[in-house]
């Protein structure tokens, strides 16, 4: 029993040949690289690529500048912290030196008072 949509070998072969012809015609009708329209498209692509590259370079320059600014800020902050720490250390050292000087002065005053009392006692006895 034959199906009404069953194509014979010759018909299938003819359809395949026709499809190949259509593909060849499609590629033959495609614009060539020397065609002004294709050259315009190529120029537009190149311009777009150049603009994209310029934007990328600009972004990288901005990132580099921002990174350098942050590094400078960090260096300034570190220098300020170091100066502050040095000032605090000097203040602590000055306080210690002042305390030592007061202790030495108090000790000298006590010794002078003791010597005065001793001399007064010797003067009364002698």
pTM more than 0.75: no
Q: Give pLDDT, residue 4.
A: 59
Residues 69/75, Cβ–Cβ less than 8 Å: no
User: Tokens for 117?
Assistant: 């009392």
Q: What pLDDT, on a 0 to 100 scale, did the predictor assign at position 34?
A: 84
Average pLDDT over residues 60-74: 97
- Rounded CA-CA distance 80/124 in Å is 65
What is the sign of the dihedral through the CA atoms of 24, 26, 31 and 33? negative
What are 13-66's pLDDT values in tens digits? 999 999 999 999 988 887 787 888 889 999 999 999 999 999 999 999 999 999
């Amino acid at each position: 029993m034959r199906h009404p949509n069953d194509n014979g070998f010759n018909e299938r072969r003819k359809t395949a040949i026709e499809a190949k012809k259509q593909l060849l015609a499609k590629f033959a009708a495609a614009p060539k690289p020397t065609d002004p329209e294709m050259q315009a498209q190529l120029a537009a692509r190149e311009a777009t690529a150049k603009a994209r590259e310029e934007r990328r370079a600009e972004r990288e320059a901005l990132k580099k500048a921002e990174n350098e600014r942050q590094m400078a800020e960090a260096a300034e902050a570190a220098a300020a912290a170091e100066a502050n720490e040095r000032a605090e250390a000097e203040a602590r050292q000055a306080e210690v030196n002042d305390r030592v000087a007061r202790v030495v002065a108090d000790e000298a005053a006590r010794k002078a008072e003791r010597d005065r009392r001793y001399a007064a006692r010797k003067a009364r006895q002698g």
